[in-house]
A = this chain, B = another copy of it.
Amino acid sequence: MKSFGGKAGGYSAGIAQQYAPYLEAEWGLKNHWYPIFFSKEVAEGDVKGSTIAGYDIAVVRPKGGDGVYAVSDRCVHRGVKLSARPMCLTKDTVSCWYHGYTYKLADGNLETIIASPDDPVIGKTGIRTFPVEEVNGIIFVFVGDEDYAPIPPLAADVPIPITDDNKMPGVEDDVPYILGKNVYVRGIHRVGNANWRLAVENGFDPGHLLIHWDNPLVLAQDRQLPLGMKPTAPEAIEVIDREGGPKGIMNMYGTEHYRPVVENSRVNIKARGNNPMPLRTSMYVPGCLMVEHWPIKGVCQYEWYIPIDDKRHAYWEIIVAPCESEEQRQEWDFMFENFFEPLGLRDFNNNDLFAREQLQDYYENHGGWDREVLCDMDGVIIGWRKVAARFNRGIATSPKVRSAQSGVDGDDEY
């Protein structure tokens, strides 16, 4: 038996230093906008909790109020989660269900303690708040350092709008913009047992198409899905770096720089399908995928891979479609419930979730980041790592590190 050594022919060894910050980002990128809940998940009077990059965040929509707020989901008193038992008694406050510490939603200030209304601690402490935006049925929060300023616009952290200037070659139809007007936006989210980076890297990987080659959705559409996409020139990959806008990387599918591979004779495998149904993928910091013309032409699928902690991510899958009327919205609901979700977001994308979760053990326990042996198709993944290393606004650390470092933890006190 020969011995080639661990890195023979692989990409990573030589160039890992070019994306070193990415390798440290196991807890995610901070000072970015992330979706946290769909609007309909937070009813009036509700306090819903979620954890992003180790930050415990409560989203509150007071009854009769004028929108949603995001605050630390840790009561400053003894650290229980406000969301464990929602207690929102007024339009402008949220109370802790345990001892009644009551915080002003606007600034997190401790306003009163229910049974100790004259307590000396009132007005001298509080919980931190998070910037929040609610657009097209999605609640976004800006997660990171409390003193980060200025807060960039939400649009800087979502995929670019597709216009006539940057359309996929050869496809006439428009694709809708997730923050745009007159769009239908609906999706799901669930927990994936893999680090967020492994999830991201699967999303737009030109080589991962093989896991879908026998998928019912593809076969039912008689879609020409190749076994993989082979880059033939550096121009296969385009870095997106807009002034003040999104940073990302795009697979230039539809150009001559990517060659669809539909068979491999060494192992007798052939892609099926007669319908050419082009799609294009691109990925944006802090980890949002856009798949244009998927699962059908004129529709766009967005995905987020949001760090919960260093071992799990929230997997968001959203369908965005053009929509000008209530009638059309009902038609999209019908399609979503009977086609997009069951066959696309579930059956098709379950394969992606499976694949990412299969990567976790190797990268967590077997030194995968150092030992991987990449190939030509992974060029865009290396590209993404560099983009993420360069354009992130901060690397999140674990809550343990944060609380040990300062005594003042970014996630629950100010």
A358 contacts the other chain (CB 8 A): yes
Mask: chain A, 146-176; 1 = CB below 8 Å from B; 0 = not:
1100000000000000000000000000000
Residues on the B chain within 8 Å of A261, using CB: 114-117
Q: Smallest CB–CB gap between A341 and chain B, Å?
A: 24
Which residue of chain B has its CB nearest to the CB of A226? B115
Mask: chain A, 200-226; 1 = CB below 8 Å from B; 0 = not:
000001111111000000000000001
- Complex CA–CA separation, A301 to B98 (angstroms): 22
For window 262-293 of A, CB contacts with B under 8 Å fall at 264, 266-269
- Complex CA–CA separation, A404 to B370 (angstroms): 10
A227 contacts the other chain (CB 8 A): yes
- Complex CA–CA separation, A150 to B409 (angstroms): 47
Contact indicator A399/B207 (Cβ below 8 Å)? no
A108 contacts the other chain (CB 8 A): yes
Contact indicator B414/A4 (Cβ below 8 Å)? yes
Contact of A79 with B366 at beta-carbon distance under 8 Å, contacts A89-B267, A115-B229, A266-B112 already known: yes
Residues on the B chain within 8 Å of A229, using CB: 115
Contact indicator B414/A115 (Cβ below 8 Å)? no
Main secondary structure of the interface of A (DSSP, over half): loop
Residues on the B chain within 8 Å of A81, using CB: 358
Contact indicator B359/A80 (Cβ below 8 Å)? yes
A10 contacts the other chain (CB 8 A): yes
A376 contacts the other chain (CB 8 A): yes
Indicate the member of A4, A205, A363, A365 with the most B CB atoms within 10 Å.
Answer: A4
The residue from B80, B108, B227, B362 contacting A115, defined by CB atoms under 8 A apart:
B227
Contact indicator B230/A115 (Cβ below 8 Å)? yes
A342 contacts the other chain (CB 8 A): no
Q: Smallest CB–CB gap between A354 and chain B, Å?
A: 8
Contact indicator A6/B413 (Cβ below 8 Å)? yes
Mask: chain A, 343-380; 1 = CB below 8 Å from B; 0 = not:
00000000000110011011101111011111111000
Contact indicator A111/B266 (Cβ below 8 Å)? yes
Residues on the B chain within 8 Å of A119, using CB: 375-377
A124 contacts the other chain (CB 8 A): yes
Contact of A359 with B79 at beta-carbon distance under 8 Å, contacts A125-B9, A413-B6 already known: yes
Q: List 5 A-B contacts (CB under 8 A).
A: A77-B373, A84-B354, A100-B227, A119-B375, A120-B376
